[in-house]
Each structure stands twice: as C-alpha cells, then as structure tokens.
Structure 1
Amino acid sequence: MCGIVGFAEEHHDPAAARRTLQEMAALIRHRGPDGEGLYADGRAALGHRRLSIIDLEGGGQPMFNEDGSLVVVFNGEIYNYRELARQLSAAGHSFATHSDTEVLLHGWEQWGKALPGKLRGMFAFVLWDSRTGTLFGARDLFGIKPLYYYRRGELLLFASEIKAFLAHPGFVKRFNADRLPDYLSCEYLPGDETLFTGVYELLPGHSFTWRAGRLTREAYAKIRYRIRSGRSLEEWAEEIDKAFTHSVAAHKIADVEVGAFLSGGVDSSLTVAKAAKQQKHLQCFSVGYAEEAYSELPAARQAAQALDVPCTETTVGPADFFAANRAIQWYLDEPMPNPAEVPLYFLCQAARRKVKVVLSGEGADELFGGYPLYCQGVHMQAWQRLPRSVRRLLARCLPGSGFLRRGAQNRWQRCARANYVFATPAERDCYLKRPAGTPPPARRFKPWFDQVRGLDEATALQWVDLHTWLPRDILRKADRMSMAHSLELRVPFLDREVLAVAMGLPRQLRCTRRKTKVALRAAAARSLSPELSGRKKRGFPVPLAGWLRQDTYYTMVREKFVGPVAEQFFDTRALCELLEAHRQGKVNAMTKIWSFYCFILWYELYFVDPQPPQL
C-alpha cells in the first residue's frame, strides 16, 4: 500500500521536475511513511511513497526493468503475483525481486494493455515507457485504490490523492460549483467528476494512455451478471464458502502482521472466522460509542467471544468526533458527510498501533444483496406489473404515499441514492444562495440504469451501486481513513473469484422482499453460529443527532452556518432555522446539517486557507 504521484508533458527540466515531484509526494506522505522514491527525465516524472508490506527489503519504487527503459509506480497489492511471475519466467523474463510490483514491468513487456485484466488484487499503477513515450495507468475493477488525473494542454498530472496536485505549478485550482447541488443530495458525485474543476477520478476497471500530449481512456473489464439457475441453496453456499476462503488466504499475503475489523455483523464475523483459522492470535478491532443504543461494541464483543479472538475496543465521544472532522475532510480530498467515516478514522488509528494490515468486510452488501434498498426493489418490481397509467392515477389519488409516487416514475428517477440527503431537488435548492439550474441528481444515475434495462429492479440497483455508491462512498472513506494512519485495509469480498460467484447468483438467493444476503448467510452458517450468520444489517449508526442538540456542538456548527463560506454559497438564515428546528426536536435534520457543515470545513481547508490541519 502506497501513494503515487507524477506528471508528463512534452518537455520539462528533469531537475525542476524532480523538485516538484518531491513536493507533491510530501503532501501524501501519510500513504507511505516508510520510504520515498523519485524519477524524472525530460518528459515524465514519477514519485512514490512506500508503506512496506511485501518484500520489505527489495520492493522499493519507482521500479525499473533491466535496461531502465520502463519505470512503474504502484499502489495496492497483486494477490496472484506469484502465479503471474511463474508465467512470465516461463516466457523468458528474469525477476530481480520478490515484489508484486515487478510483475507489472514484465507484464507490460509481455501483454501490453492487456496487463490489468490479468491482475487479481487492488491496484492503481502508472507506468512510463520511455522508448515509446507512453504513460499508461490503470485502476482495479472495483475501485478499491484511487487514481486521479488532471489535464491542462499537453500536461497530465496523476496522483493517489487530489491534494498532491496543489504542489504542481501547472495546476489551476478551481471549485466545481456546478456540482455542489449533486454533492448536497448524494453525499458524493457519481461518475468521474470531482469538486475540483478539471480533476477526474479514473473509473474502476479503466485504464488511460498518454502519448505526445494526447490522452485516451478505455474500459479493460466490466462487471456483468451471468445468472446460473438450477442449483440448490446448499450448492451455492458451498461455492461461496470455497471462493471466500481462498480470497481471505490470498488477502493475508504479507511480510507483516495482518489483523481484522470486527463489528459483529455477518460480513466482518465471517471474515474474522476465516482469517482466524489461517492465522493464530488474529488481532481484531472494534469501535463504538458510550451511547449503547448506537454502539457496535456489544455485538462485536459477543462475536469476538464466539470466535475466540482478542479484540481491541475503541470508544468515540462527541468531543473527539467533532475535533477530528477537520482533519478527516482534509484526508478525504472532497467533502464527505457520511458520519460513519469518523468512527472509522478512530478505528484505523487504534489498529495501526498494533498491526500494519487489516481485513475488512466492505463490498459484501453490494455483491450479495445486503441493503434493505434491494428488498424494496423486489417490492417495486411486482408493482411495475401494473400499467403505468394506473400507477400514476393511484399516485395522484394517494399523494402521501412515497411508494406509490416512486412507482409511477422511471427506474432511474426513483433511485434512492440520488436523493440520499434531500427528498427532492426543490427541498435542497431552498438552501442555496443561487438557484441551482442543474439537472435533478437522479439524472446523473440514468446512464448506469440505461445499461441494465433488462435486469430486474433489485439486481439493477445492485449493479448501479457497484459502479457508484461502492467506489465513490464506501471504498473512498475506507481508503482515506486507513491511509490517514498508514494502515493497509484489504477487502476480501471484493475479489475477482468471489465476484464470479456473486454474478451467477439468482436474485432470490441474494434478496427477497424480507430477507437480505440469502446465499451469503447460508455460506456463513457453515462457519458461524445461527445468531451471527442471521444477524440483521445494522449499518453504522451514530449519536450525532443528539450531540447537535447540545450547546457546545450546536454553537460550533452555528458559527460555521453564519460564516463567510456559508454566506458565499447558502441562505444562512435558512441554515440557522434548520439547525434550530433540529435543536428543538421539531425535525431530525442530522444528515442535512452534517452535509452543509462538512462542506464548509472542506472549502475552508482547500480554498480559504489551503494548509493541511495540524494532525
């Protein structure tokens, strides 16, 4: 796990490029405190910050091929690198290290642009071929590891985190104000745009090629459902169990100790159960609150006892929660108001004191049908059998029914992720200083729904989540909060072999009207008690709503709501009225308040006083 930075242009001074590169790398030092490597010639510059996990002595980067004409920087882990190294050795390539990074060099020599499709793992890498003047980059299929780029004329910048671009003199920093409404509605921007004008995130499963100032992008792999019918639940459970067991074993490859997160839910409990069988004295880590109604600690404690693993508990209070949020928004690059990122920040901090790598359960819900949203999709699918005219008539006759209203809409229009914070664009726009004049956020999701018109509703929702919610929310906060503490977080559910099994599952073995993760729970029952394998999804609740009603934190938020950033973008009176209504208990506006507050903190950090907070 590391951080990468770099740039390419038709000509630059190598010495000056190296100095700029070092400044860029310094801004993401947290991703790799164990070492720094820099390379610059007259056209390209590649930098690397290393977190040593595999081949501690010989895996330094940038790494070169035998004649030095090829150089690569890489963030992530390739779990099938030994198998690929054997194939490449048989083809005549010679290896100088035992690092997974070297597979990328010889893989490029052997397979060219087909290389990313052969990799099993989480990765973002950029490779410079000085012989052909080609800069090639790729990102893993799920988007576990980030890769951003910025183009201005013939200049191309790339980095693991956007903040690295701040150190390059060719970077023009501008706020992408047109996308503020989408951020407020969704908590993130679906697609490849960011809140920095001209900065894009390379989409999962995609690669880019830069040559002679020209940039091209293409998909090297796609996620497709290939449903296999005629198999029993027991047969599916066995196949899932086998694939996941192998995945956990692959994700434990490291030359340092590996631990695991444990919340007490089925995903983390199954991960810990598999890892504990493969490693003695597996260290586990859990986080929660003093407010037991919101805390995962009792469930995690119960799971740890059942699985016979030691578990380090961390408790987060309101003072720590609010104090950390400024640093958290800095690490995130873009504002993210999902309160779950705050306890995750402290969980990663506690884990890093004892281990350098942890396993976590992200991705199970998206692959195996774990969200209640998908159960709603099953209900909606049945409702869609009625003629649309009838559905519209019923929605008009019973206007208070949200289900009927959504049922009269197109599938993309009723996407719950599109209005995650505000029920409608009109509700959101009343807080904006200037009318938005932008498409409804649901329209941003339409291109994904258009690609899966033939799938049933629940399956289509899963597929869209895999391409939007998962990489832009779930995995982004997982990467940033772990890397903030120089901790490598691995996600064995998001594995190529596990994906192949999940994509074959019939819908009724993923979710029904009332049940989630049907087949995965059956697989988990082979390793877990009925109580653990059947535990309902809890999410990651936080007691933030109550804290915002306390004088200390109410005052803290209100100061931002009447400050200069709020005055620039929002109707400050409307913000204060919302905050006051929440304080008095008239409404629960926690999510809305937190969205505005996190945006203001982020904007101050990156556009008012662009200095990293004291960490």
Structure 2
Amino acid sequence: MCGITGAVWLDERAAIDAPLLTRMTDAIMHRGPDDDGHWIDPRQVDGQGRNYGVALGFRRLSIIDVAGAAQPMGNEDGSLQMVFNGEIYNYKTLRRRLEGNGHRFKTDGDGETIVHLYEDLGTGCFAELNGMFAIGLWDQRRSRLILARDRIGQKPVYYAFDGQRLVFGSELKCLAAVEGVCEELDPAAIDEFLTYQYVPYPGTIWKGVRKLPPGHYLVLEKGNLSVHKYWDFDPTLERPVSRDQAVERLRELLTDSVRYRLQSDVPLGSFLSGGIDSSLITALAAAQRDEPIRTFSIGFPVADFDETEHAAKVAAHLGTDHQRFEVDPSGAEIIEKLVWHFDEPFGDSSAVPTWYLSELTRREVTVALSGDGGDELFAGYERYRALWLSVRLRRMFPIHRMPGIGLVQRLPDSNKQYSLLRRAKRFFEALEQPEARRYLNWLQIFPERMRADLYSDDFVQQLPGEDPFEFLDTVWQQSEGRDVVTRASITDLLSYLPCDLCTKVDVASMAHALEVRQPMLDHRVVEFASSLPVGLKFRGKRGKLLLEDAFGELIPRSIFHRRKMGFGIPIGKWFREELKPMVHDTLLADNAKIGPFFNRESVERLVGQHERMENNHGYRLWNLLILEQWLRRWT
C-alpha cells in the first residue's frame, strides 16, 4: 500500500524536475512512510521525433516483500517503468504463469507481476488482476503513459492534462504541488457536493482536474488522451439460481476472497463493529488462521452510537484477541485534520469514527480487514426497504396525494439518530417522484429546493445547465430491467461505494499508514451478488438473507436480527453544543468563505432552526462547515 505520483510533458517549459517531484511525493508521505523512490527521464523521443519528459514518484508502506520490491519498478530491459498503489491478491498465480512464459522476476512482491503481465497483454492486463490498485505505467517503446484504477474504486487516481503536460497522483495534494493545476474552483462541484456530500467522478472540486473512474484506464499517447473501460460487468444481467446453489457459491467466493486478503508480511487484524458484515469477515478470517486474529472496535460515550457490546459478543464467540478503543471525539479538533487529508470537500460524518478507529488500530497492526460492501451487495440499507415499500404503496393507492401528508413535513424534528419522524418525512417527501429521483431523495443532503433557496444569485449564474441528479440517473439507467431494490443497490455499488465509502476508508486509513482490505469488494463476489435474483437477498422488511443462509452458523444469530446502527457520531447534538461557537465564528461570520456562494439569510435560518430544534439540520450544517473549513484551508 503506497502513494503514487508523476507526470509526462511535451514542452520543456512544463518539466517536472527532481525537487518538484520530491515535493509531490512528500505531500503524500503519510501514505507510505517506509520508503520513497523517484525516476525521471527528461528527454525521451517518440517515433515521430517529438521530445517527451517523464517523472514517476512513489511513497511506500511495506506489506509484501518488505526488504525488496522498491518502486518505481522496471522490466528486464528497462523499457517499462511503473508505480503502483494497492495490492494484487492473485499475484502468485499470475507469477507462476509469467515465469512459465519466460519472464524473470527480481522481487518477491506483487507489483512486479503487473509489469510483466503488461508485457504480455498490454492494457488487457488489468482485467487479469484481482485486487485494489492505482497504477501508473510508462511504456517507453510506445511513448505512452497508462493510468489504471481497480474495478470498484478502492484506490484513487487524480489527473490533470492541459494538452502539454499530464500530472497525476493518489491525492490532490500531489497535483496541488504543481503550479497552475489546482487553482480554479468548479462551481458545479460545489453543487454536486451539497447534493451527495462528495464530488462524484470524473470531476473534482478543481476545474481541469479529474478522477479516473473505477474499472477504467487512461492512455496518453502521441499527445492524445483517451479513457477506456476494462471491467465487463453487466448490471442488467440476472442469473436464475437456486438458494442452495447460491449459498454454496457465496461460501466458496467469500472464503477465497478472505484467504487472498490474509496474505501479509506484517501484522494483520480485523475491524469488528458488531454488525453483520464485519462479524462475518472476521469469522471467515479466524477460521483460516492458526492463532487468534486480532480485532478492534471503537466505542463512544453516546449510547445511540456505540456498538461495542455487540462487537465484544462476536469476539467472545469467535475467540479473537479483541481490543476496544474508547474515544470522546472532538468535532472542532477533528474537522481540521479531515479537511487537510480529504483534499476536496467530503461531508460523510462517519469519516470521524473511521478516522479514530484507523488511528488507534494502526498502533497495533499495519493491515486490517473490513466488512465494507455488504449493504450494497446484499440489500442491507434501510433506504432499500423504503424504496420497495414506496413502489408497493403507489401501486395500491395514491397515498402520496392524501390530505395531511404535508403536515408531517412541518412537525418539529427529533435529536435522536434513528428518529421515526425524520424517516417519515423523507419517505412521504419522496413518494411523488419517479423511482430514480425518489432514490436520490434518500441520498441527498440538500434537496433541490433547499439548494435553490441557499444559493446566491451570482453563484446560480456560474452553474452549468447540468443537474447533479444526472450523475445518479446515468448510473441508475445501467441496470435497466432489474427490480427496484437491485437497481438501487447496483446504483450504490457504482456511485456511493467508490465516491463515498471507498474514499472515506482510503483517506482515513492511509492518513495513518494503515492498509484496509475489503473482502466483500472482490470483483468475483461483486459480480456474483449483483447477478442474483432479489428474492435471495431481500424479502419484505429484511435484507442480507443470503448472508444469513450461507454463514448464519459462524456468528451469533442475534447479530442478524438486531437493529442496524451504522457508523455515526452525534452530529445534531454537536451543532447545539460543541460546534455552535465555530458555526457562529465561521459560517455566520462577515468574512465567511462561503459568502460569495450562499445567501446569508438562508444559512442563518438553517442554523436557527437547528438550534431551536425545529428541524434537525445536523448533516447539512456539517457539510456547510466542512465546505467553509475547506475553503479556508485550500483557497
């Protein structure tokens, strides 16, 4: 696990010299504190006589082949140079095949497999890899740079190309070290951020800077840039299968996925929240190890947000070496750290507990397993049930047109995390909308009507004609023909998972040089789960049925039937207490950075309604505060 960066330039005036490349790699030192590496060739000539310059930079967190496998890494004759962030879990199988084809290996690591596989297959090599990865590869013979990202989007790739120079990196900090790259804000990105709490790919907060989409690779050759999809995943495909067959296949795939992810030359453990997904991953890992696996959970002083008693129950059942961390998170203290590490506005408040858990776990191990992906793949989210119910209700009778429904929206809100009233408000608000729009209603932070009220006239004039909804709708349309629950889960798989959850885990863990592996996001598991008929996973009020059928004997049955808590913090309470001074000193200040974008009266109204408990705007205020603090730090 590492951080990568680099550049290719056609104009010597845009060259990346050694000191600048060092600044680009030092910007992500936290991702790889064990070693660094640099490779620069300022004068390469392509077949048409044009000069190229190339620079590759690397920071290393040593996991496999700790003593070797330094990067940048080349092939036998040096005509290929590569930097790579992530893990290739099937590298031993691929290595045996490549050695049979005559390739000679210099290291015992997984990265060198990519170099030799590219020699044999070209860009077809990425479809052979099972792993999480971001790859930068310079092919001297063809004078081309290739960037690639794993199928699910667990590892990030940012890049900017102005026609004369392409720069890339694992984080925007790498690009920000280069003058003239991260300079102009994209107004559309602010609109998208307030809709989704993240900036969706392929855009970023900066104009001219892009994210490589998951499952894609980029080629810069002869001055032309092109982006290609290599993952042949078909979201419309549904395969009939019996429950017994599905159980057997899922056991096989997920057990093998965990086995792959237990490969490590450094200490390894597992996150254990006490929920279904982390408990199952831990159980499968414990069954494949000779000694007890180390497990870690995090507790909070607010009961609504503390799952550690359930984690302890699972740990005792599995006989793990369990450690519970207790933290009392400080919103004012943590927000500055999040803003620096996330590079662009990121408003998922569960980044806070993920941050603390990663920080404390890293004191004990270097690699941790996680249960991410279970909700998306096996229909675990409450919003799937709400969407399913809304479809049934609309078919039976037009409840969304009944008198009095609007009164629900005007009732005082609750401060509790799992407020029945808050859920009812969202449900009835969404009933009148088409399915995709209805689903956005459960996801969005600021609905369209609230954003319209929030934005200043000058900011509205800067926005393009595109609606942020188009991102979600484009993904939704990819699963045309499937049932509504499957469409929602596949939409999350292709949008929310890479843009939010994977980003959160990558940034929060790598900030502390902790590698987090997510067995449920093995592409074989993803493709299989996505192809299943919905009845095997979801029925009525319950999801994750297949997980219980396949693995119910591994963990206490009560874990499958308890209320889902999520991974949250008391945001609503914070904004009435601890964060109240910061809100008034920043968001409501005369020199507020958000001032040019928003109507002050609208922001004051949100703050006032929340403080008077007329409405719970906690998550909205968190996103506004993140944006304000980000603007103060990066602009």
Give the TM-score, by structure 1 length. 0.93
Q: CA RMSD in A?
A: 2.1
Q: In the alignment, which residue of structure 2 is the partner of 1:69?
A: 79
Identical counterparts, % of pairs: 34
State the distance in 2 between where 1:12 and 1:59 align.
31
State the distance in 2 between where 1:148 and 1:202 align.
6
Q: Read off the aligned partner of 1:522 and give its amino acid letter.
A: D
How do 1:138-153 and structure 2 match up within 5 A? 138-153=148-163
Q: In the alignment, which residue of structure 1 is the partner of 2:603?
A: 575
State the distance in 2 between where 1:385 and 1:562 align.
46
Tell me the CA shift for residue 69 of structure 1.
1.0
Q: Is the 8 Å Cα contact of residues 190 and 445 (structure 1) preserved in structure 2?
A: no
Structure 1 counterpart of 2:110, from 100, 116, 120: 100
Secondary structure at the counterpart of residue 516 of structure 2: strand
Q: In the alignment, which residue of structure 1 is the partner of 2:582?
A: 556
Q: Is the 8 Å Cα contact of residues 10 and 212 (structure 1) preserved in structure 2?
A: no
Q: In the alignment, which residue of structure 2 is the partner of 1:611?
A: none
State the distance in 1 between where 2:285 and 2:316 align.
15
Q: In the alignment, which residue of structure 2 is the partner of 1:20?
A: 20
**Unaligned ranges ≥5, structure 2:** 43-52, 409-425
Secondary structure at the counterpart of residue 94 of structure 1: coil
Tell me the CA shift for residue 307 of structure 1.
1.9
Shift >6 Å, 4+ stretches: none
Secondary structure at the counterpart of residue 136 of structure 1: strand
Tell me the CA shift for residue 404 of structure 1.
6.5
Structure 2 counterpart of 1:161, from 147, 171, 174: 171
Q: In the alignment, which residue of structure 1 is the partner of 2:627?
A: 599
Query: In the alignment, does 2:45 pair up with 1:35?
Result: no
CA distances 1:469-525 after superposition (whole Å, capped 9, x unpaired):
000000000000000000001000000221233133210112222011110122220
State the distance in 2 between where 1:14 and 1:97 align.
34
Secondary structure at the counterpart of residue 414 of structure 1: helix
Tell me the CA shift for residue 556 of structure 1.
1.6
Q: In the alignment, which residue of structure 2 is the partner of 1:545?
A: 572
Query: In the alignment, does 2:439 pair up with 1:415?
Result: yes
Q: Read off the aligned partner of 1:490 and give its amino acid letter.
A: R
Q: In the alignment, which residue of structure 1 is the partner of 2:452?
A: 429
1:378 and 1:426, CA in 2 relative to 1: closer, same or farther beyond 3 A? closer
1:349 and 1:429, CA in 2 relative to 1: closer, same or farther beyond 3 A? same
Q: Read off the aligned partner of 2:221 and give its amino acid letter.
A: R
Secondary structure at the counterpart of residue 594 of structure 2: helix
Tell me the CA shift for residue 317 of structure 1.
1.8
CA distances 1:283-342 after superposition (whole Å, capped 9, x unpaired):
111112111222122222222222221222222324x33201111111111111211101
**Unaligned ranges ≥5, structure 1:** 608-615
CA distances 1:70-108 after superposition (whole Å, capped 9, x unpaired):
100000000000101111111111111111111111011
State the distance in 2 between where 1:408 and 1:593 align.
27
Q: In the alignment, which residue of structure 1 is the partner of 2:517?
A: 490
Secondary structure at the counterpart of residue 595 of structure 2: helix
Q: In the alignment, which residue of structure 2 is the partner of 1:311?
A: 322
Query: In the alignment, does 2:64 pair up with 1:54?
Result: yes
Q: In the alignment, which residue of structure 2 is the partner of 1:612?
A: none
1:172 and 1:299, CA in 2 relative to 1: closer, same or farther beyond 3 A? closer
Q: Is the 8 Å Cα contact of residues 448 and 464 (structure 1) preserved in structure 2?
A: yes
Structure 2 counterpart of 1:288, from 299, 314, 337: 299
1:500 and 1:581, CA in 2 relative to 1: closer, same or farther beyond 3 A? closer
Q: Is the 8 Å Cα contact of residues 331 and 574 (structure 2) preserved in structure 1?
A: no
How do 1:117-266 and structure 2 match up within 5 A? 117-225=127-235, 226-232=237-243, 234-266=244-276
Q: In the alignment, which residue of structure 2 is the partner of 1:372?
A: 382
State the distance in 1 between where 2:320 and 2:129 align.
32
Give the TM-score, by structure 2 length. 0.90
Q: Read off the aligned partner of 2:553 and give its amino acid letter.
A: R
Tell me the CA shift for residue 166 of structure 1.
1.3
Residue correspondences, number: 599
Q: Is the 8 Å Cα contact of residues 261 and 517 (structure 2) preserved in structure 1?
A: yes
Q: Is the 8 Å Cα contact of residues 326 and 601 (structure 1) preserved in structure 2?
A: yes
Q: Is the 8 Å Cα contact of residues 430 and 441 (structure 2) preserved in structure 1?
A: no
Tell me the CA shift for residue 548 of structure 1.
1.9
CA distances 1:449-470 after superposition (whole Å, capped 9, x unpaired):
2222211111111111111100
Secondary structure at the counterpart of residue 596 of structure 2: helix
1:16 and 1:269, CA in 2 relative to 1: closer, same or farther beyond 3 A? closer
Secondary structure at the counterpart of residue 303 of structure 1: helix
